[in-house]
Structure 1
Amino acid sequence: MPPIDFLPASAKVVPGVRNRFRLTTVGVLTGLGVLALAAPAAAHVEVSADKTRAGSTNVTLTFHGEAENPSGIRSERVVLPAGIAPADVTLVKAPPGWSFQATADGFTVGGKALPSGTDAEWKVRIAKLPDGETRLSFKTLETYADGEVARWIEIQEQGAEEPEQPAPLITLKPGPAAAPAPSSAAPAAPSSAAAPAASSPQAAEVPATVQAESVAETDEGSSTWWIWVLVALVVAGGAGYLLVRRRAGQHPAE
C-alpha cells in the first residue's frame, strides 16, 4: 500500500525548490555566525597621527575607543612606547568632564562615565616622535562604569595576523637620513719642529764625540810636552859641551 501524503496539494514543495531553500537557510545562518564572531574584534581602540614620519615634532595623536559595554566608558589608560616620555605629552581634547593625568609610563584620561553606546575620543600632542622607529604601539586599558576592563595590549607584529586584543598602532615613514659627521681623525701635516726633534739625539751625539776626541788629544799633548823640552835641553847641553871641547883642543894652554 503506498504511503499516505498528509500535506495538501498546495503545500507540496518541488524537490529543486526545497534544496534551494535549504542552501539559503544555511547561508544566512553562516553569515550571522561570521558577524557574531567578528563583532568583538571590531570593538577596539585605534590611534592615528597627523604627522607620519619618524622624528616629527608637535605631533597630534587621535585615539578612538569603541564602546562594547552598555554601562559606558569611564576612563582610558595609555602606556607610551619607548622613546616617548610622559612629560612630552599634553592633552588637546577629551570627552566633556574628562581630565588628563600623566602616569609613570604614560597617561590617563577619564571622568564621568559616557552614555551607553558612546565611543570615547581624545587627542594628545607629542613633543617629538622617536627617531628610527616605524611602528609605535600604545597599549590601552579601557575601563567601564561597571568595573569591566578591556585590555587592548597585544602587540601587532608586522606581517602577522592581528591578535584578539591588539594595541593601538601607528605606522611611520622613516625619518631623513642623518648626514655623516666629519671625521676628526684627519692626518696631521708634518711639523717643521718635529724633524729636528727626531734627529736631536744624533745631533747631540756628534758634538759629544768630537768634544771627547778633542779633550783626549789635548790631554795627551799636555802630558808629554815636558819630555820634549828635556830632550831639547839634553841635546843643547851636549852640543855645547862638544863645542867647548873642540875650542879647547884648538888653543892648548901656554
Structure 2
Amino acid sequence: MFTPRLPAHAGRRIALAGAAALTATLALAAPAAAHAEVEADKPQALAENVTLSFVSEAESDSAGFTEMRVVLPEGIAPGDVTLDEAPKGWKLKATSDGYNVAGPALKAGVDAEHKIKVRQLPNAKEIAFKTIEVYSDGKISRWIELPTGGAEPEQPAPVLKLKAAAPGATPVSPSPSPSPTETATPSQTPSATESDVAAAGSEHEAKAAEKDDSSSTGVVIGGVLAALAVLIAGAWWLVKRRNATSQS
C-alpha cells in the first residue's frame, strides 16, 4: 500500500503557523495601547500659576471624544483651576472633586487635548489625576488606577512627578469650594452640550470593569492555548507518521 510521504519541513510549518496564530491572538487580547497623560510647564512642588497639559489618546475607530472628567489630587481645589485651551466649543465645569471639560464630539481617532491653569501645585513628590473619557457612542474609558505593590496597573491614572519645592516656597491660602461653574474655551463659542455626571466613576464600577476585562482575556487566551495544543499534536503526529513511513 502506497502512503504519501510528508515533506520534511511540513511539521515545522504547522508548528510555526500555530505559534504565529497564538502571538497574533494574544496581541489582540492585550490591553489597548492608548492612554492618558499629563505634563506641566513648571513641574515643581508649590509652583504657582502652572499650566497642565492633558492628552487622551483615542482608542475608538467609530466614535469621538465628547467629555473628559478629571479628579483633582489633594491640594488642588476645583476653584484653583481655569481652562486655558481645549477643542473648539468645549468648556469647563467645576465639580465637587475636580472638573469636567466637554463639548461637540471630536472626529473618530482624534486625540483629545486640553490645558488648565492651576493656582498652585501641592507640596508632593507626585500627583495623580484620575481621568474618565466619554465617547459619542456612550463608551467610557477609566484611567483611574494607581500602582499597588509595585505592579503596573492596566488603566493607569495620569501621574505628574514634581521636583522639590523651591527654597522659601510656601502654600498659598486655599480657595473656597465653588458651586459648579462653567468656563468657556478662550475665544471660542461655548458648546450647548452639557453634562452633570460626577467627575469620577465609583470604585465598584472600576473593579467590575477590571473583572470583566480579566474574564474576557482569560477566555480568549484559554481558547488560543487549546487550539495551539491541537496544532502541535497534529504536527507531532504527522512527523511521526512520516518517520514511520520512511523506515518501512
Q: Which residue of the other structure, out of 142, 145, 149, is the alignment partner of 1:154?
A: 145
Q: Distance in 2 between matches of 1:170 and 1:49?
A: 8
Q: Does 1:126 align with 2:118?
A: yes
Q: Distance in 2 between matches of 1:23 and 1:96?
A: 53
Q: Does 1:167 align with 2:157?
A: yes
Q: Is the 8 A contact 1:134 1:171 kept in 2?
A: yes
Normalised by the length of structure 1, the TM-score is: 0.60
Change (3 A) 1:174 1:23: farther
Counting only pairs closer than 5 Å after superposition, residues 181-220 of structure 1 correspond to structure 2 as none
Q: Distance in 2 between matches of 1:76 and 1:174?
A: 29
Shift of 1:95: 1.0
Which one has the bigger helix percentage? 1
Q: Is the 8 A contact 1:134 1:174 kept in 2?
A: yes
Identity %: 44
Give the corresponding residue for 2:69: 77
Q: Distance in 1 between matches of 2:44 and 2:25?
A: 40
Give the corresponding residue for 1:89: 81
Question: What secondary structure is seen at the aligned counterpart in 2 of 1:173?
Answer: coil
Change (3 A) 1:177 1:34: farther
Give the corresponding residue for 2:7: 14
Q: Distance in 1 between matches of 2:15 and 2:42?
A: 50
Which shows bigger deviation, 77-86 or 139-148?
139-148
Normalised by the length of structure 2, the TM-score is: 0.61
Which shows bigger deviation, 80-89 or 27-36?
27-36
Highest Rg: 1 or 2? 1
Q: Does 1:99 align with 2:91?
A: yes
Number of aligned residues? 168
Shift of 1:163: 1.4
Q: Is the 8 A contact 1:156 1:167 kept in 2?
A: no
Change (3 A) 1:31 1:128: same
Give the corresponding residue for 1:44: 35
Relative contact order, higher structure (CA 8 A, sep 6+):
2
1:113-153 per-position Cα deviation (integer Å, ceiling 9, x unaligned): 1111221111111121111x112110111111122222221
Shift of 1:178: 5.4
| Counterpart residue identity of residue 128, structure 2 | S
Specify every segment of 5 or more residues in structure 2 that has no aligned partner in the other structure, as ranges.
Answer: 170-248
Q: Does 1:137 align with 2:128?
A: yes
Q: CA RMSD in A?
A: 2.2
1:21-42 per-position Cα deviation (integer Å, ceiling 9, x unaligned): 23432342233133213342x2
Q: Distance in 2 between matches of 1:19 and 1:178?
A: 72
Q: Is the 8 A contact 1:156 1:169 kept in 2?
A: no
Specify every segment of 5 or more residues in structure 1 that has no aligned partner in the other structure, as ranges.
Answer: 6-11, 180-254
Q: Is the 8 A contact 1:156 1:163 kept in 2?
A: yes
Give the corresponding residue for 1:199: none
| Counterpart residue identity of residue 152, structure 1 | W
Change (3 A) 1:27 1:174: farther
| Counterpart residue identity of residue 174, structure 1 | A
Shift of 1:104: 1.7
Question: What secondary structure is seen at the aligned counterpart in 2 of 1:68?
Answer: coil
Shift of 1:53: 1.8
After TM superposition, which residue ranges in structure 1, 4 or more long, deviate above 4 angstroms? none
